[in-house]
Amino acid sequence: MKVNCNIDIKHLTRVEGHGSIQIRIEDGKVRKANWEVVETPRFFEAMLVGKHYENAPYICGRICGICSIGHTLASIRAIENGFEFTPSEQTGKLRILLKHMETLQSHILHLYFLAAPDFLGVGSVLPLVDTHPEVVQAALRLKLLANDMCDEVGGRRLHPTRTVVGGFTMLPDKYQLKNFQQRLKDSLADLTASADLFATFVIPVFQRETEFVSLKGEGDYPFIGGRLVSTDGVIKEEHEYRAMSNEYMADWSTSKLSRLSRKSLAVGALARLNNNFNGLGPPAREISEKLGLTPVNHNPFMNNVAQLVECVQVVMQSIEIIDTLLDTPWQEPKQRLEVKEGIGVGAVEVPRGILYHCLEFDKEGRIKKADCVIPTSQNHANIHHDIEDLAEWCVEQGKNDKEIELIAEMLVRAYDPCISCSVH
Amino acid sequence: MKTERTFLGVPIVKPKVGFFDLSSCEGCQLQMLNNEASLLDFLSLVEIVNFREGMKEKSDDYDIAFVEGSVTRADEEERLKIIRRNAGVVVALGSCACFGGVNQLKNRFNDLEWVKRQVYGDFPIETQEAKPISAFVKVDLEIYGCPIKKEEVEKIVTKLVLGQEITHPNYPVCMECKANENVCLFDLGEPCLGPVTRAGCDSWCPSNRMGCWGCRGPAPAANLKQLEKIAEQKNISKERLLDRLECFGGFGEAAREMRTKVEGGR
Ligand code: SF4
Ligand code: SF4
């Protein structure tokens, strides 16, 4: 039987923001296969113009409710780089700890609340409360731990209050850090159980050759700053981010789009893992191998698995960071810095991929120009081309329209898109 | 509404609720999921029938609509009007919905064409001035904050479900800050809108040693002149005060007047 379908999903559910999928197949011929971004733009880059630099982290955090910590840190890094200021070691450690907990919080939210329901054949996490109570409880425990730690280190889990240019307004309590370290250790059991659960999920065997872009590790698994790399062999410095993201517009999207060596590129957990697999600690690596994820993997659905691997990685790293923080006496939370005319770029790996903020200042530190390149906007073109290939793949596999609809939705969800962020 | 549970022997109704997002960071919706410890209890109070960010099923049959975000495009205006028609109670969730939030910062340029060019160059894109939802439909209840405070929302929703009266504090953040025994930010040389901002957040920012940015809008008896005086005494520039007053849109006209003054004096 020839495959026929006409799918028109307006405002896809269980993703952040507004996007639509259209697939039309007639007699086994793909007539249309689109990913469309309809989100309303908010114009953050314009809002910042004329504002004093201290506004940037505060305002930019509001680009995204899920990765507000990442945006705040990217703005701070852009400013500090622009003023040629290097934060103290203590500040660096606290920032990465905070970043890790955002990654954990966001990945768990995505894996359990947004992605898992598809694999378990339900429409949301709600039915799982009754059918899989232990799964829901584990997810809530992990998310609570990550969020509680964000409160302790960043002041607030969403739109942090302690993170400022030069450092922190206030330091966490060491006694609390010690407790959190114990909770982190305990959480490994929940993560192992999560890995066992995900091992039972049937992941579509769909592949499309893709160029993956992320920060470049120097023997580590990087999250804040450094050089940029792609699986096609491109290497750039942080301040050359424009050469890596090459933003352009197209009529099917209110978000900007990106490309590098090919017609599209991908960023995110899978990209990070593909580029920096050797920087993973042994426990994360082991889980990755066990779940069949080794570089370079070109199956976009494996981004879910990569996120799970990263959960283990950030938990292990956080345990170590807390050890060094507990071993050293607290220094001043914040350093003064001198305002300089110039441009600064901050590249940060946020849950959905690499994020760049670029700010240009006048000599009083007022912002003359701002540019934010969001992970999901870098992914949109890749999602679009994946949908095209996925439609062909579904024809080959002889899928019916219900199956095609579900698998297309699952594909987009696997990218964990943050669409309001991408349009900002 | 379905009757399922009782409270003190009185049956309580479990209202159908929907969550909707206009232009926003979706953080306020996320705050609802950020209630890990009490999420399951909360879920037993209401029946969620529409929550695009969290579930696939959707229904247009709901009693209470929580609307997050501000209106910045014609299609959002339309969606909002449909929501209003369907819902018995419309709740503005968060500062974007209540005042325009950070989105209204673009309005200060009074030139949308410039704003568009700044981000998209000559590429055609549709936008209008960011406005609160009350500019288009009747709003029954406002929940302030950027982000909303989850404990406060749960309290409010519980009262809504039980049919109790909902009141917001009429004193400023400063009172909560004093009760929390924080060091005053002004004494640390930092600006703070605590003296003029509506309380209810338990002085969230000052308790973390960050001055208040006024995300909950003005307290009923806000005395801006007094605030300007304190800032002047502490050597804090008008511009820094203005940055905060205009950040979320809650101080509306007062912030706009101050901008004219600051720009005139530059
Ligand atoms: S009020 Fe703040 S947290 Fe809520 S949606 Fe708007 S920007 Fe996000
Ligand atoms: S202290 Fe001010 S800015 Fe912070 S949450 Fe409260 S009202 Fe909002």
Judging contacts by C-beta atoms under 8 Å, the chain A residues touching residue B40 are 129, 140
Taking an 8 Å cut-off on Cβ atoms, the answer to whether A41 and B120 are in contact is yes
Give yes or no for a contact between B24 and B68, defined as CB atoms under 8 angstroms apart.
yes
Here the tokens at position A105 are 């919080």
The mean pLDDT value for B71-76 works out to: 95
Taking an 8 Å cut-off on Cβ atoms, the answer to whether A66 and B22 are in contact is no
DSSP A222-267: --BSS-EEETTS-EE-GGGHHHHH--B--TTBSS-B--SSSS-EE-
State how far the alpha carbon of A14 is from the alpha carbons of A350, B50, B53, B228, in Å.
Answer: 19, 11, 4, 46
Answer whether B148 contacts ligand 2 (Cβ < 6 A).
no
Judging contacts by C-beta atoms under 8 Å, the chain A residues touching residue B214 are none
What is the average pLDDT value for chain B, to the nearest integer?
90
Q: Is residue A401 part of a domain?
A: no
**Number of alpha helices (DSSP H) and beta strands (DSSP E) in chain A:** 15, 12
Answer whether B98 contacts ligand 2 (Cβ < 6 A).
no
pTM over the 0.90 mark: yes
pLDDT at B33 (0 to 100):
74
Is the bond leading into B147 cis (omega within 30 degrees of zero)? yes
Query: How many whole angstroms from A161 Cα to the centroid of ligand 2?
Result: 10
pLDDT of B11 higher than 70: no
Who among A43, A129, A144 is closest to B115 (CB)?
A43
CA separation for the pair B255, B260 (Å, rounded): 9
User: For A24-28, A419-423, B52-56, which range has the lowest pLDDT when averaged over its residues?
Assistant: B52-56
The domain that holds A230 is classified in CATH as 1.10.645.10
The mean pLDDT value for A185-191 works out to: 96
Among residues 209-248 of chain A, which lie with CB inside 8 Å of chain B?
none
List, for residues A359-378, the tens digit of each pLDDT value. 999 999 999 999 999 999 99
pLDDT at A392 (0 to 100):
96
Q: Is residue A276 part of a domain?
A: yes
Confidence of residue B4 (pLDDT cuts 50, 70, 90): low
Who among A15, A43, A158 is closest to B31 (CB)?
A158
Answer whether B19 contacts ligand 2 (Cβ < 6 A).
no
User: For A226-240, A336-350, B39-53, B250-264, which range has the lowest pLDDT when averaged over its residues?
Assistant: B39-53
pLDDT at B3 (0 to 100):
47
Contacts of A137 (CB under 8 A, 6+ apart): none
Ligand 2 atom index nearest CA of B202:
6
Give the burial string for A255-276 (b: 16+ CB within 10 Å, else e). bbbbbbeeebbbbbbbbbbbbb
DSSP A159-172: S-SSEETTEESSPP
Percentages of chain A per state (helix, strand, coil), in multiples of 5: 50, 15, 35
List the CATH code of the domain at B3-162.
Answer: 3.40.50.700
Taking an 8 Å cut-off on Cβ atoms, the answer to whether A113 and B28 are in contact is no
Q: Which of A28, A29, A31 is nearest to A2 (CA)?
A: A28
Domain range spanning residue A146? 52-377
Give yes or no for a contact between A35 and B122, defined as CB atoms under 8 angstroms apart.
no
Who among A55, A123, A155 is closest to B243 (CB)?
A55
Q: Report ipTM (2 d.p.).
A: 0.93
Confidence of residue B200 (pLDDT cuts 50, 70, 90): very high
Here the tokens at position A412 are 């987009």
List, for residues B113-124, the tens digit of each pLDDT value. 999 999 988 888
Taking an 8 Å cut-off on Cβ atoms, the answer to whether B24 and A65 are in contact is yes
Q: Which residue type, as a one-letter code, is found at position B114?
A: W
Number of structural domains (chain A) is 1
Query: How many whole angstroms from B205 Cα to the centroid of ligand 2?
Result: 5
Ligand at shortest distance from the CA of A64:
1
- Looking up tokens 């780089």, which residue turns up? A81
The mean pLDDT value for A56-76 works out to: 96
Domain coordinates in residue numbering, chain B? 3-162, 173-265
Rounded percentage of chain A residues whose pLDDT exceeds 70: 100
Answer whether B201 contacts ligand 2 (Cβ < 6 A).
yes
pLDDT at B7 (0 to 100):
63
List, for residues A195-214, the tens digit of each pLDDT value. 999 999 999 999 999 999 99
State how far the alpha carbon of A18 is from the alpha carbons of A43, A285, B24, in Å.
Answer: 16, 35, 11
Q: Which residue has the higher pLDDT, B261 or A73?
A: A73
List, for residues B103-152, the tens digit of each pLDDT value. 999 999 999 999 999 998 888 889 999 999 999 999 999 999 999 998 88
Give yes or no for a contact between B258 and B245, defined as CB atoms under 8 angstroms apart.
yes
Q: Is residue A270 part of a domain?
A: yes
CA distance A41 to chain B (A): 7
Confidence of residue B2 (pLDDT cuts 50, 70, 90): very low
CA separation for the pair A390, B175 (Å, rounded): 58
List, for residues A136-174, the tens digit of each pLDDT value. 899 999 999 999 999 999 999 999 999 999 999 999 999
pLDDT at B10 (0 to 100):
65
pLDDT at B186 (0 to 100):
95
pLDDT at A403 (0 to 100):
94
Who among A40, A65, A140 is closest to B73 (CB)?
A40
Answer whether B27 contacts ligand 1 (Cβ < 6 A).
yes
